[in-house]
A = this chain, B = another copy of it.
């Protein structure tokens, strides 16, 4: 079977590769309890992201000529404002990732709305108007897509209902959902922190990248969106950065893989929506 070019991709391309980099920083730890601000180990574990992880990943992306999408909570932007220029100045996309990195499913409607707006205000202070949004922990509430539509963002990326982009109609607007998946998240392979209990994952970089490459080759066969999520405090470790670089170089060499930011993927999907194999989409999707 010769894979066809999906409607929303350039001729000859089977797969859009959107590399996304959340910069959750200390929010991951502080969301588990304010007391952890007094625990040097987990705090230093997250600050690594700023000290070493983001610079290292930015350097690698620059060397490879790839533009990524950075999802940075408002809290991180306020705490580490020096992050913005190197990201935006290098042509990467900066997108909405909540203010406090608490899951919307744990918030009331007014809390969620306030948190959403506060993040927009922080971004505006840096001159950034985000094109899209990702819920903290991908834990969108039943209201999240309404809010995304209401504030005029073009896309959301928190759901898993397909492996191609799909349109969700909310408030008389089409929001593009750019689906994600656990497979393509370094958190489930690399996150290790016993207290607070963030994770117990110490997968080999070779194994994680092997899983990611298997999914990339799968999508190249069937066509779709390959959205990889790499946290700078995880994938910014030296051996993991090298392994990720190997995957990116492989993708660049494929010929049928097109790198793009989430913003561009959403623009393309709106202009020429991908076909879905059959109807039956449920209400809550």
Chain A interfacial positions (CB closer than 8 Å to B)? 1, 26, 37-41, 43-45, 47-48, 50-52, 55-56, 63, 79-80, 82, 105, 135, 138-142, 144-145, 158-163, 179, 181-183, 188-189, 192-193, 195, 200, 202, 204-207, 210-211, 214-219, 221-222, 224, 237-243, 276-282, 284-285
Q: Please, which residues of chain B bring their CB within 8 A of the CB of A217?
A: 239, 242
How near does chain B come to A105, taking the closest CB pair, in angstroms? 6
How near does chain B come to A208, taking the closest CB pair, in angstroms? 9
Interface core residue of A159, A192, A204 (most chain B CB under 10 Å): A204
A48, B214: Cβ atoms closer than 8 Å: no
Point out the residue from B202, B218, B242 that lies within 8 Å of A211, measured CB to CB. B202
Decide yes or no: A182 and B188 within 8 Å by CB, A38-B284, A48-B161, A218-B238 being known contacts. no
How near does chain B come to A220, taking the closest CB pair, in angstroms? 8
Task: Provide the bound-state CA to CA distance between A205 and B242, in Å.
Answer: 22
Q: Please, which residues of chain B bring their CB within 8 A of the CB of A51?
A: 161-162, 276-278, 280-281, 285
Majority SS of interface residues in chain A?
A: helix
Task: Provide the bound-state CA to CA distance between A26 and B285, in Å.
Answer: 11
Task: Provide the bound-state CA to CA distance between A210 and B205, in Å.
Answer: 9
Point out the residue from B41, B162, B206 that lies within 8 Å of A158, measured CB to CB. B41
Copy tally for this chain in the complex stands at: 4
A280, B205: Cβ atoms closer than 8 Å: no
Q: Please, which residues of chain B bring their CB within 8 A of the CB of A43?
A: 282, 284-285
Decide yes or no: A182 and B189 within 8 Å by CB, A237-B215, A281-B51 being known contacts. no
Task: Provide the bound-state CA to CA distance between A217 and B246, in Å.
Answer: 13
B219, A47: Cβ atoms closer than 8 Å: no
Point out the residue from B52, B181, B202 that lies within 8 Å of A183, measured CB to CB. B202
Q: In the complex, what residue of chain B is closest to A82 when comparing beta carbons?
A: B280
Point out the residue from B159, B189, B284 that lies within 8 Å of A202, measured CB to CB. B189
Q: Please, which residues of chain B bring their CB within 8 A of the CB of A160?
A: 41, 44-45, 48
A215, B238: Cβ atoms closer than 8 Å: yes
B162, A40: Cβ atoms closer than 8 Å: no
Task: Provide the bound-state CA to CA distance between A144 and B179, in Å.
Answer: 40
Point out the residue from B26, B159, B204, B219 that lies within 8 Å of A282, measured CB to CB. B26
